Homo-oligomer: A and B are copies of this chain.
Amino acid sequence: MSAPLANVITLGVTDIEGERTFYRDLGWPLTFDSADFAVFELRGALLALFPTDKLARDANARPQTDRGGIRFAVIITVESPEQVDELAARAEQAGGTLTKPPTKPEFFDGRDAYFADPEGNYWEIAWSPDDNPVTAAARRAAGLTP
C-alpha cells in the first residue's frame, strides 16, 4: 500500500449551514448531504464538511476552533490563466474573502489567487504551464492522464 487513496478532505466547521451554502454557491456538486455531514464531489478529491466538535470526538482530539490565520490550503488546478480570475470572482461573489487577487505568483510560473471561505479555510487557485511537475502529478493522481 505505497500510495493510499487519500482524497477526502474533511473541514471541521462551526456553522455547517453557512459553509454548505458557500460551497453550493460556488457551484460545486453536493454528492452526499445530511444534517451534520455534507460532501462535495470535485475532481480528484471530495470536500466534506463536519462539525468541529464531532470531528474532535471522532478523532479523540481537542477541537481547534481558533481560526487565527492560514494553516493549510487546498490548491485548485485550473486549465487557463483566465479561469483563475473567473473562479476568484465567483468565490468573492459567494461570500469568500479574496486575500490574494489573481497575479503572477512568487513561487512558480503561471497565475494564482487565494480565497478564504467564511470560516477561514484557504484555497489557492493556480494555473501553470503543462511542464509544471506538480500540475502533471495532480492530473495523474486524479486519473485524468494515462
Contacts and interface: CB of A to CB of B under 8 A. Distances in A.
Interface of A: 1-12, 27-29, 31-32, 37, 39, 41-48, 52, 54-64, 66-78, 83, 86-87, 99-100, 105-107, 114, 116, 121-124, 133-134, 137-144
Choose among A47, A60, A78, A139 the residue with the greatest number of B CB atoms under 10 Å from its CB. Answer: A60
A60 B100 contact: yes
Pairs of residues from A and B, 8 with the lowest C-beta to C-beta distance, nearest first: A143-B143, A7-B44, A62-B69, A8-B75, A64-B69, A59-B114, A61-B70, A64-B71
A140 to B, nearest CB: 7
A72 B12 contact: yes
B71 A71 contact: yes
A29 to B, nearest CB: 6
Nearest to A72: B11
Main secondary structure of the interface of A (DSSP, over half): mixed
Contact of A7 (B39, B63, B106, B142): B142
A50 to B, nearest CB: 8
A138 B46 contact: yes
B58 A62 contact: no
A138 B141 CA distance: 12
A69 B40 CA distance: 24
